[in-house]
Chains A and B, each alone.
Chain A
Amino acid sequence: MANITKAPAGFEGPGFFATKIDSVVGLARKNSIWPLPFATSCCGIEFMATMASHYDLGRFGSERLSFSPRQADLLMVMGTIAKKMGPVLRQVYEQMAEPRWVLSVGACASSGGIFDTYSVLQGIDRIIPVDVYVPGCPPRPEQILDGIIKIQELVASESIRRRDSAEYKELLASYGMQ
């Protein structure tokens, strides 16, 4: 009997398996995240290496990259975001449908990195909410995969009611979004 993945905690009987709907939905979602690679600079090249065959991102379920925000689950921001690019990033984030997660790859996206200058946005969490930060300049592909695995843990353990909760709405309101 092939064991594809670990079953969530539940009550099993002849012909049925009862568990929380959150766990099943989380299990399905975490193994089929469609990322949107928002690659701007050097971290984008390390992402290309992560996508390539040596560090294969496809084995985590992210084989199909979506360049359209409407069809993506995970926004991977890789590289420096300048202030000129900020509104574009925000528009892309707002176009994504719920549930959506954000992975900030690299020092520049997380906090501005080595570029403490007048033209660089000092961290994308000033304009959009971020779920996981991957430090590094650029991070090794193994680190990016580690970030994706942490996103998978977040996805698996998230309640399906979270996106309608007051807490989440407050988070979005703090960024000025509905």
Chain B
Amino acid sequence: MNSQNSQEIAHKDYTTLNLGPTHPATHGIFQNVLTMDGELIVSAEPTIGYIHRAFEKLAEKRPYYQITPITDRMNYCSSPINNMGWHMTVEKLAGIKIPKRVDYLRVIIMELARISDHLVCNSVIGVDSGAMTGFLYVFQFREHIYDIYEAICGARLTTNIGRIGGLERDFPQDAWTRIDKLLVDLPKGLKEFEKMLVRNRIFMDRTINCGPLSQEMAMQYSFTGPNLRATGIDYDVRVMNPYSSYEDFDFIIPVGTHGDTYDRFMVREQEMWESISIIRQALQKLEKLEDKTSFHADVPAFYLPPKDEVYTSMEALIYHFKIVMGETDIPKGEVYHCVEGGNGELGFYLVSDGGRQPYRLHLRRPCFIYYQAYPEMIKGAFLSDAILTMSSMNVIAGELDA
């Protein structure tokens, strides 16, 4: 703080307001100590780390397949994307090639997770501006998506979906029925949600020009994901560095113009429509593939062999033992892989020394990196706008602190 600032502050009567770690509107626990001039914010001092669970240190003590449940708990609104990202990182390191059918199945799961994440974020923007009904309507669809996850892997929220080398089992018939039903119900539900908010005069007045972000600032603060795309830059990891056969899919990248809350809301809304389209395309592509049964790569060194083989064949027994005891031969090396998470580029920098655990796993968490810009974004804004800006940035505490 230079001397001119402290002179200003000495003259004026600023109040300090603690937007504390526990607050109904900060969805997640992080603290902001605001210096306010009446209702306008002069400066903000963020404090994070209230849910620091030492993921990077934990990962150094666990075998590779035991790290998946940890990655679940980063962005817990869309945990399948984190899981898939981690599996793809290990597959890149070990040089495992995944069959197309598995890629398409993974795409379906990841797009469902993206819809789930954006539904939370958009309905919560509604709640924070006073529109509670949208939240209740939209959570019904999240329940349907949870039912699909449950049919595939057994868990609702922290899914631990997939294995290194593919998926743990093929989708059951129940999952296909539910996905088809979702593709019929969700568009209707989204249209209803949009009718409530998108051209709503009150909502537009609240959110337009609220927390604007310029393209230069977004790039300097390493923004990614819908927050960056709302400023007009069309950076999407699925297009820049395609993974899991995303290059076979045809989708647009929605971008905004001003980078304010309304644009962020609309970008997420459009991305949900694009995700629905991607899931439809994936279903069609799966129909056309000759391979209709495989759900994992043929890598017995990393993927558990079927149980009846374990009981009858010697090699399968040895592989099973080695994998379960964590003595798989991951090659020495380092790799960086990124996926498009709900908030942007979720990166995994994995360094392996050939042992049963990673030597170092660094998680590139989008929330952590772009939350730095929050004090800049709310300078000079009203307190209520600051609250809306925070919820529109979709800051998830698990990803912020890790």
Contact = CB atoms under 8 A, between A and B. Distances in A.
B140 interface: yes
A119 B51 CA distance: 8
B148 interface: no
A46 to B, nearest CB: 6
Contact of B52 (A46, A79, A119): A119
A54 B143 contact: yes
B143 A49 contact: yes
Nearest to B23: A67
Contact of A119 (B53, B69, B146): B53
A79 B27 CA distance: 13
A170 to B, nearest CB: 28
Interface in A38-78: 38, 40-42, 44-46, 48-49, 52-54, 65, 67
A40 B139 contact: no
A149 interface: no
B20 A117 contact: no
A45 B374 CA distance: 23
A116 B45 CA distance: 30
B76 A84 contact: no
Nearest to B53: A115
Given A92-B22, A114-B69, A117-B57, A42 B50 contact: no
Nearest to B20: A88
A54 B140 contact: yes
Nearest to B29: A40
A82 B58 CA distance: 15
A87 to B, nearest CB: 10
A17 interface: no
A149 B136 CA distance: 23
A80 B51 contact: yes
A53 B50 contact: no
B364 to A, nearest CB: 20
Contact of A41 (B20, B69, B398): B398
B187 interface: no
Interface string B53-92: 1100110000000000110110011000000000000000
Contact of B51 (A49, A82, A140): A82
A138 interface: yes
A46 B54 contact: no
Majority SS of interface residues in chain A? loop
B49 A82 contact: yes
Contacts of B146: 49
Interface in B107-145: 120, 135-136, 139-140, 142-143
A174 B27 CA distance: 33
Contact of B158 (A40, A65, A119, A137): A137
Contacts of B72: 42
B156 interface: yes
Contacts of A117: 53-54, 57-58
A82 B139 contact: no
A84 B49 contact: yes
B397 interface: yes
Given A52-B139, A52-B140, A67-B24, A45 B50 contact: no
A119 B50 contact: no
A53 to B, nearest CB: 5
B254 interface: no
Interface string B154-186: 001110000000000000000000000000000
B21 A46 contact: no
Given A54-B140, A80-B51, A88-B21, A41 B73 contact: yes
A40 B28 CA distance: 6
B157 to A, nearest CB: 5
Interface string A79-118: 1101011001000100000000000000000000011011
B277 to A, nearest CB: 26
B303 to A, nearest CB: 24
A42 B398 contact: yes
A42 B70 CA distance: 12
Contacts of A151: none
Given A49-B139, A54-B139, 12 more contacts: A41-B76, A41-B398, A44-B27, A45-B157, A49-B142, A49-B146, A53-B139, A79-B51, A82-B53, A85-B21, A85-B50, A138-B156
Interface of A: 38, 40-42, 44-46, 48-49, 52-54, 65, 67, 79-80, 82, 84-85, 88, 92, 114-115, 117-120, 137-138, 140
> Which 10 interchain pairs have the tightest Cβ spacing?
A52-B139, A117-B54, A42-B76, A67-B24, A85-B50, A115-B53, A119-B52, A54-B143, A53-B136, A41-B398
14 contacts: A40-B50, A41-B28, A41-B51, A41-B76, A42-B72, A42-B76, A42-B158, A44-B27, A54-B143, A65-B24, A67-B22, A88-B21, A118-B54, A140-B156
Interface of B: 20-24, 27-29, 49-54, 57-58, 69-70, 72-73, 76-77, 120, 135-136, 139-140, 142-143, 146, 156-158, 397-398, 401
